[in-house]
Structure 1
């Protein structure tokens, strides 16, 4: 479909989801918003399953589309993002292994930090590999307005925005002791959780846009690697 191949599809999907979050926030009480966006709420559960579904679909279609290392790296990133949504980054110890506090704290022995480093090593490799060997190709694709390349950039942008939303109010409370009304906390939750839920779907959009691209061109976007 022409609409699916549009270079701005992922952008408009992000705008639509943000507007849906706004409508959800306007039409519901803060308590209702918190109930649906809580860590054990339905939106977060949907996000977890969406990541698992994205992994399966990427494995199914990516074998014939992506170089082996690229496929493995993408699957690792999706798996870690699913694990984070399930709060597995807190499962080993009493604190998230993604927090700087864990690494700087003297409360945790060196063995614990070595275990955490071993757990994080695969995703560090995956992110490093994608940045080192795919950034140039993706940026070149953005300059040529390739839809899949722009969708990849949107994945990064939406991930960054959702993380900023997730930490913004909490950081202000921790740093300055500021207090915020419930309606603002619920607005933050409505935007952050829905945008996070969009991320695995953007992975699939990028995958199928890329599939459409190489079918049209008869070549691989990553053929040089």
Structure 2
């Protein structure tokens, strides 16, 4: 019997247990900005233990005549619920989320899904599925709700609570726009300049009061993060890249919304083209809260190197 190997095992097991206890303590009582760093330390310990996992046999535990130290046959014996497997899976998911091409790949996937849905109308997918008040729009509203909740639940060392609140207000505004609440007050969109030229003063004042919190939140975020966007793209964080993709998708969705009327395609264009444009607009709008939640998750992983360091 090799007593040195047993001592090594016990030492590693104690180290593993101490890491978990320390992680739990800091997670509950420590500063939120320390959580991502402690999480990565814990995952490193778990991964190290998973590569050196041993089982201690004894005649007391399993009736063997003598104590022996043998390695596990393979990772499959531990089971999917083993903390080593769970830790490795979480680490791999984190690497995928922090990859610089994740946002671009997700955008391409969204575009492909939108085109497929558009081409499937009306033979497979009913037109009502992508129209105003349809299934996709309803799902989009719930997605905005999930994004707002997710941003508050995900701790981010890079965003203080005031910034998180401002992002939530902006997402609420985007969700309200998707629900057409901007036309519910006076029967005309309060986002159009024509409203402020033709509407009575009391309606203009009411519209400004409604829009003031959203404008203030957007101005606050612009003040806080404008300088970061002026850096070279190679110095952007992954969360910034995802946010830029979100903004680009929002602009494209707005262009698709206006394109048929602007280009005079409402009556002249082939039906499949109009269906693809309509489906693309709705699916892209659905992806906006998902990209916001992805950016929040990437930010919650803590500070990372610039994009140039990940290639």
TM bucket by the smaller chain?
0.7 to 0.9
**Cα separation, 2, equivalents of 1:116 and 1:62:** 34
**For 1:196, which of 260, 266, 285 is the aligned residue?**
285
Structure 1 residue 63: deviation in Å?
7.0
Q: TM-score, normalized by length of structure 2?
A: 0.63
Q: Deviations along 1:2-56, whole A, 9 cap, x unmatched? A: 2211111111111101001111122332894531111111100010000011101
Give yes or no for the alignment of 1:8 onto 2:97: no
Q: Deviations over 1:173-216 (max 9, x none)?
A: 3xx997433322211111111011001010111111111133x6
* Partner residue in 2 for 1:123: 214
Greater alpha carbon shift after TM alignment, 129-138 vs 30-39: 30-39
The 1:111/1:145 distance shift into structure 2, 3 A limit, reads closer
Gaps of 5+ in 1: 218-225
* 1:48 to 2:141 alignment: yes
**Relative to structure 1, is the Cα distance of residues 14 and 45 closer, same or farther in structure 2, using a 3 angstrom cutoff?**
same
Cα deviation for residue 167 of structure 1 reads 1.1
Q: Scaled by the length of structure 1, what TM-score is found?
A: 0.85
Structure 2 alignment gaps of length 5 or more: 1-92, 306-311
Q: Give the number of the structure with larger relative contact order, counting CA–CA contacts within 8 Å between residues 6 or more apart.
A: 1
C-alpha contact (below 8 Å) 2:250/2:288 kept by paired residues: yes
Distance 1:197 1:152, change over 3 A: same
Instruction: Indicate the RMSD between aligned Cα atoms, in angstroms.
Output: 2.3
Kindly indicate which of the two structures has a greater share of residues assigned to helix.
1
Q: 1:150 aligns with which of 241, 259, 266?
A: 241
Query: Contact 1:34–1:189 (CA<8 Å) still a contact in 2?
Result: no
Conserved? CA contact 2:157–2:302, under 8 Å: no
